[in-house]
A and B are shown apart, each in its own frame.
Chain A
Amino acid sequence: MSNMMYRAAVLSTIMEEMERDPNVVVLGEDVVGGMGTEGGPEAIGGIWSTSTGLYDRFGATRVIDTPISESAIIGAAAGLALSGKRPIAELMFADFIGVSLDQIWNQIAKFRYMFGGKTRCPAVIRMAYGAGYNAAAQHSQSVHQILTGMPGLKVVMPTTPADVKGLLRTAIRDDDPVIFLEHKALYATTGEVPDDRDFMIPFGHARLSRAGGDVTIISSGLLLGMCEAVADKLKGEGIGCDVIDLRTTSPLDEETILDSVEVTGRVVVVDEAPPRCGLGADLCALVAEKAFSSLKAPPLQVTPPHTPIPFARELESAYLPSVDKIEAAVRRVLAWR
C-alpha cells in the first residue's frame, strides 16, 4: 500500500498503463503545458497535475497537447480508438462536454451498436467536475446525470484514491467507452492505495462504506464524505446508516442497493447534479419498482435545486447539498410512520 493523493492516483495509473501498453495515448488541452513557449514543454504539466511528466516519458506521439478544440479532441479520441489505440482524452472541465457533445453522444457512445457489434471504441474521457470553488455556472457542473442516460457509455465517479486507481485501470483496459469523472475538491484528498500494478475494481460494484441497517444513504464523489459524517453522527444516537458509494452510475449496482433497502426500508439519495431526470430520480424509481414492499417511507433525494450554479459564496453554499441538509432528510425518512 502507498498513501497518495487522488490526483496522484490518476497520474500514476495513467503512467503505469502507458508503460504496460504502447497503445495507450493521452490527449487534451495543456496536458503537457508550456508547448510553444520559452518555458518549454512541461513548464506547467497539466492544470490538475494529472499528466505531469507523461510527455517527458512518452513523447509527443503518445502525449498530445491539443489546441482549444474540444470537438476535435473527442473526435480524435474516437478515431484513435477505432484504429486500435486506447486514448485517454482529458476535458479540463466537465462543463466543456457541451462543446464536444456530438462526438461523445452521437459518435463514441453509438459505434458499437450502430455497427452491429462489429467494432470496439475503447476511449476513456476524463474530466474534472463539481462545485465548491465559486467558479459559477460554466465551470462547476456535475455531468453524470446527462452522460449516464446515454446508452453505450460507462460512467465512473470515484470517491477515494484507491477507487481512482482500481477504476481508472479498469476504464483504460475496458473495451467500451468510459467517462471518468474526477471531483475537483477530491484531487487533494489522500488515502491508502494498493501497489499491485494489476489492481482493478470491476464496474457495477458499489462499495458499502458504512453498514448500519436502519436507513440507506446512496451517493458518490465529494458528497459521499458528507453522508459518512451524517452516518457517524447518527451512530452516536443509536441509528445505523448504510452508506453506499455507487462508484459507477453506468453500469449500476442494483443488487447492493436493493439488498440494503430490503433491510432498511428507508432511502435517501444524495447527488450534486440537479434533481430533474437525475440520479436521485433514477434510484428512487428503482426502489419504488423493485423494493416497493420493503419501503417504510417515501424515498427522498437531496440535490441542488433546479437552477444553474450561482457564483457568490453564500449562493453556492445555499445551492449545494450539505451535512445539515442530508441529516435533515435522513431524519425525515426515519420519522415517517
Chain B
Amino acid sequence: MQLSREALLAAYRQMKIIREFEERLHVEIQTGEIAGFTHLYCGQEAVAVGVCEHLSPADKIVSTHRGHGHCLAKGCDVDDMMKEIWGSRDGLCKGKGGSMHIADVTKGMLGANGIVGAGAPIAVGAALASRVDGPGPDGLKIAIAFSGDGACNQGTTFEAMNLAAVTKAPCIFVFENNHYSEHTGVSYAVGTNQDIASRAEAFGMKAWRADGTDFFAVHDTMREVLEYVRAGNGPAAVEFDTERFFGHFEGDPQRYRGPGELDRIRATRDCLTRFRASVKGAGLLSHADLDAVDDDVMAAIEGAVAAARAAARPTPEDVLADVYIAY
C-alpha cells in the first residue's frame, strides 16, 4: 500500500530524529557531561519507526536497555527525554531513571528496561489487559515486546511467548536481530541456527521475517502482523534483521567486529540512506523535501540539548520522592 506524502515525511522525520538524537549523544557522552550507561540505537531506526507508525497511544510497547529509538518512535517528547538523559529533575522521569529507564505510560510506552528479558512478560500483561477491554472499532489494542537477539535466550521471553500463545493475548514479539548480544555473536548464542522467529513458531505462533534496515519492508510486514493480531487471532512474532552502528554501550572498543565491518554496514545497510534512495527513485519525495526535514531535525536536537543543559537539577530531597504513592 502506497503511503501518503505526509506519512512518508513523518516516518522519515522520526527515523532522522532518532539518528541525530543518538549521534549527538555519542558526541556529548565523550565530554563526560552525561552520566551512566548509554546504549545507542543508531542503525535500527527503521524497526522502531516502521513498527510504531502503525500504533496509537492506546497500544502499548515495552522496550529494552537500547530504548531511545522505541521511546521516540512511540511519541516520547524529545526535549523531556534529553533532559532525562542529562539527569534533570524536569526530565521525563525526573532524573530518577536515566537512559535505561525512560518511560511515558501516557504514550503507551511502558518503559525501557535495564534487565535483559524483563520486557516480554510485561507486554503479555498489557495485551491481556486489552483482552479484558475487548475490541474497539479498529480491533483489539495490542502490546509489543521489543527484544534483542540476546534477550530471546532468557527464560522470561520463552515463558512470555507461551503464556501469550495459550491465552491468545494480542501481543507481538518483535525481535531485533542485530547479530550481537554485548560482545557475543548470534551464531554462538542462539541455538536455532541463527533463526529467532522459528522459536516463536515452536510456541504455536505465526511468525514473520523481514529486513529491518528497509523501512518499507518493516512497515508492510507490520501492517499484516497488526491486522492479524488486532483481529483476535492471538499473538505473533516478527524477526527483523538489523545492524547496530555503535558499540554495545558507549565506550565499547568493539574488538569483536570484523575488519571494515562498521564501514560496510554504514555504507550498505543504513536505513536512512535506503529510505532516501527509494522515495527519490519512485519520485515520491524530493531532495528538497528531505533536506528540509533534516534541517528541522538538526534544529530540534540542538534545541533539546540546549534545553537539557539549562534544565533544573534535582535536589537531595528529591531522592525520597515517588517511592510510593502513599506510605
* Cβ-closest chain B residue relative to A306: B323
A3 to chain B, nearest CB (A): 26
**Which A residues are CB-close (under 8 A) to B261?**
38
B21 to chain A, nearest CB (A): 18
Chain A residues touching B, majority SS: loop
**Which B residues are CB-close (under 8 A) to A39?**
183, 255-258
Q: Which of A44, A133, A136, A310 contacts B319 (CB 8 A)?
A: A310
Task: Flag if B155 contacts A69 (CB, 8 Å).
Answer: yes
Task: Flag if B35 contacts A68 (CB, 8 Å).
Answer: no
Inter-chain CA distance A308–B97, complex, in Å, is: 10
What per-residue 1/0 map shows which CB atoms of A1-44 lie under 8 Å from chain B? 00000000000000000000000000001100111111110011
Inter-chain CA distance A138–B156, complex, in Å, is: 17
Q: Which of A30, A98, A311, A319 contacts B98 (CB 8 A)?
A: A311
B315 to chain A, nearest CB (A): 7
Q: What band does the interface of chain A fall in when counting residues whose beta carbon is under 8 Å from B? A: 35 or more
What per-residue 1/0 map shows which CB atoms of A123-160 lie under 8 Å from chain B? 00000000001111111000000000000000000000
What per-residue 1/0 map shows which CB atoms of A297-323 lie under 8 Å from chain B? 000000001111011111100110000
**Which A residues are CB-close (under 8 A) to B97?**
136-137, 311
**Which A residues are CB-close (under 8 A) to B204?**
none
Task: Flag if A311 contacts B101 (CB, 8 Å).
Answer: yes
**Which A residues are CB-close (under 8 A) to B151?**
68
**Which A residues are CB-close (under 8 A) to B89?**
312
**Which A residues are CB-close (under 8 A) to B114?**
95, 136-139
Q: Which of B98, B150, B256 has the most CB of A within 10 A?
A: B256
Task: Flag if A37 contacts B257 (CB, 8 Å).
Answer: yes
Kindly state whether residue B300 has any CB partner on chain A within 8 Å.
Answer: no
A residues 89-147 in Cβ contact with B at 8 Å: 95-96, 98-99, 133-139
**Which A residues are CB-close (under 8 A) to B36?**
133-136, 311
Contacts A136-B114, A305-B320, A315-B318; A36 near B189 (Cβ below 8 A): yes
A85 to chain B, nearest CB (A): 22
What per-residue 1/0 map shows which CB atoms of B78-93 lie under 8 Å from chain A? 0000000001110001
B133 to chain A, nearest CB (A): 30
Inter-chain CA distance A264–B305, complex, in Å, is: 54
Q: Which of A30, A98, A99, A314 contacts B316 (CB 8 A)?
A: A314
- Interface residues in B, total, Cβ within 8 A: 50
* Cβ-closest chain B residue relative to A75: B155
Task: Flag if B319 contacts A305 (CB, 8 Å).
Answer: yes
* Cβ-closest chain A residue relative to B113: A138
Task: Flag if A307 contacts B257 (CB, 8 Å).
Answer: no
B130 to chain A, nearest CB (A): 27
Task: Flag if B155 contacts A72 (CB, 8 Å).
Answer: yes
Kindly state whether residue A228 has any CB partner on chain B within 8 Å.
Answer: no
Task: Flag if B87 contacts A313 (CB, 8 Å).
Answer: yes
A106 to chain B, nearest CB (A): 15
Kindly state whether residue B163 has any CB partner on chain A within 8 Å.
Answer: no
**Which A residues are CB-close (under 8 A) to B153?**
67-69
Task: Flag if B95 contacts A67 (CB, 8 Å).
Answer: no
Inter-chain CA distance A10–B260, complex, in Å, is: 35
**Which B residues are CB-close (under 8 A) to A72?**
155
**Which B residues are CB-close (under 8 A) to A95?**
114-115
* Cβ-closest chain B residue relative to A318: B316
Kindly state whether residue B116 has any CB partner on chain A within 8 Å.
Answer: yes
Sampled A-B contacts (10; CB under 8 Å): A33-B183, A36-B187, A38-B259, A44-B256, A138-B101, A307-B319, A311-B95, A311-B101, A312-B35, A312-B95
Name A's B-contacting residues (CB within 8 A).
29-30, 33-40, 43-44, 47, 65, 67-72, 95-96, 98-99, 133-139, 305-308, 310-315, 318-319
Given contacts A38-B259, A311-B93, A314-B314, 12 further A-B contacts (CB under 8 A): A35-B184, A35-B189, A39-B256, A69-B153, A71-B155, A99-B156, A133-B35, A136-B36, A136-B100, A139-B100, A305-B320, A312-B98
